[in-house]
Structure 1
């Protein structure tokens, strides 16, 4: 199938969380992600100046479309995704830093719940965030593009 319209990458991923403050603190502390936007209904974290991790309290999934506010100004509306349950996010890391991340997780008493060695040479380690979302740290060598 050919098309003249292209996609150049992924910009953001969203996770619904039970306690927004707790989840923001977890991702800021563990990864050093900076906050781009924050109010009681959303927190957008800057991931390596390449993408965004959006954290939303679970109660917003039942709200009508989100409209801009003084704190988070935009024109238009954002429909709710209505997602439920545990999600998954994979974050890129250099292969040389895998042992550092294992040590960092151990130092914060975060259990590594899975490990994978991929046929192309990549490695993954998996752990859970405070809402039981599966977080993956992934070295190059999984996909043809990474």
Structure 2
């Protein structure tokens, strides 16, 4: 069987693209890879891409010169997790507070991993996760 090498993209759907992008740029330091009226792509640690789609913009398939992108989308809040170093948890708490991002919850997991949960401007549930939760992280 061929092997998957990782997750390249994670998609979130935003009611206000500039507001959503500004949040991720300001709070997490993500830089833009692409900026259009329907999509803003942000670089995550030079390993993956956070795609912010304008809500409803992908409800129909899009035909491009190279092929067709099938319709996609989501209703309601989605969830994603950013990897953080265990030693940076206090710094992340302080940073979120300074940026006006309320911490919704924290969970200490068996194996000493820690999750810090927050919401983005569209209500998506973000998580900052330290190593030790999954056997591969």
* TM-score (structure 1 length as normaliser): 0.89
Match of 1:87 in 2: 78
Residue 43 of structure 1 aligns with which residue? Answer: 40
In the alignment of these two chains, the number of paired residues is 137
Q: Counterpart of 1:83 in 2: which secondary structure?
A: coil
CA contact (8 A) 1:125 1:138 kept: yes
C-alpha RMSD over aligned residues: 1.2
Instruction: Tell whether the 8 Å contact from 2:114 to 2:130 is kept in structure 1 after alignment.
Output: yes
- Select which of 93, 98, 106 maps to 1:107: 98
In the other structure, the counterpart of 2:26 is 29
Give unpaired runs (5+ residues) of structure 1: 69-73
CA contact (8 A) 1:60 1:80 kept: no
Could you list the runs of 5+ residues in structure 2 that have no partner in the other structure?
Answer: none
Residue 89 of structure 2: aligned partner: 98
TM-score normalised to structure 2 length: 0.95
Q: Deviations over 1:100-129 (max 9, x none)?
A: 110001111211001111112110100000
Give structure 1 regions of 4+ aligned residues with deviation exceeding 4 angstroms. none
User: 1:7-86 maps to which residues of 2 (within 5 A)?
Assistant: 7-62=4-59, 64-68=60-64, 75-86=66-77
